């Protein structure tokens, strides 16, 4: 079945299924931006000329990031806030911009980008992605309490495996190994056996003193 023939619910479910299967790598990698852009296109359809314009600009933005053209990245990031704030590409650009800044070692700037946009994001799936990405970045910067607060509103609807793994990481950073182990075990219950990031999550569980569940016999 072609993507264009799927209704809104089915499109959203396909995106969420992809994200569940690929686990927490989407939070820190470029795959997050790519997955979101494909998902947003599925949900929004062909759209207006204005949205098509935004899509073209997003591609230019991605190219500037790949080329590490700092001046162009910043200019296009501003354009998304001023000219295309009414499109989903504005939120996507903010996520991608934050990722780029983290890669440049500018964690504080990345946090500012996420915080500046988070309150304006209306789509609940996108809002959860912002909260998780912000939580991961706060953890990286050693702000474990703030990291936990950031993801407090993320429920089971969209990314429970990513949330639970991040909670485990926060607990482990606090030295709370028992709590971390429980969170990792809970995260594993949401992941398929074939999920690419399952092995990494199982390693975290072992490091926290746990034992991964036995794989079912073929």
Structure tokens, 60: 């230019």
- pLDDT surpasses 90 at 5: no
pLDDT in tens, 100-156: 998 888 999 999 999 988 888 888 888 888 899 899 889 988 999 999 999 999 988
pLDDT in tens, 16-52: 454 444 444 445 444 455 445 555 554 455 457 887 7
CA 177/CA 174 separation, integer angstroms = 8
pLDDT in tens, 162-201: 899 999 999 999 999 999 999 999 999 988 888 888 888 8
How much is the mean pLDDT over the chain?
Answer: 79
User: To which residue do tokens 């407090």 refer?
Assistant: 152
pLDDT in tens, 52-102: 788 888 889 989 999 999 999 999 999 998 898 888 788 888 988 998 998
How many CB atoms lie under 10 A from the CB of residue 150? 26
């Amino acid at each position: 079945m072609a993507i264009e023939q799927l209704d809104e619910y089915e499109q959203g479910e396909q995106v969420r299924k992809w994200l569940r299967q690929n686990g927490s790598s989407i939070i820190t990698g470029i795959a997050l931006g790519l997955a979101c852009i494909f998902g947003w296109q599925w949900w929004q359809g062909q759209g207006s000329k204005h949205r098509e314009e935004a899509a073209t600009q997003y591609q230019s933005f991605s190219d500037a990031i790949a080329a590490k053209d700092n001046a162009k990245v910043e200019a296009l990031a501003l354009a998304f806030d001023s000219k295309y704030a009414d499109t989903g590409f504005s939120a996507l650009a903010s996520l991608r911009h934050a990722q780029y800044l983290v890669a440049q070692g500018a964690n504080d700037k990345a946090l500012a980008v996420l915080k500046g946009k988070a309150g304006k994001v209306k789509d609940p799936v996108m809002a959860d992605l912002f909260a998780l990405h912000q939580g991961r970045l706060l953890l990286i910067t050693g702000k474990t309490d703030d990291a936990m607060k950031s993801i407090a509103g993320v429920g089971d609807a969209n990314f429970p495996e990513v949330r639970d793994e991040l909670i485990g990481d926060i607990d482990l950073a606090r030295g709370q190994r028992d709590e971390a182990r429980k969170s990792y075990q809970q995260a594993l219950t949401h992941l398929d056996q074939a999920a690419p990031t399952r092995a990494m999550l199982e390693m975290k569980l072992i490091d926290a003193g746990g034992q991964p569940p036995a794989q079912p016999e073929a």
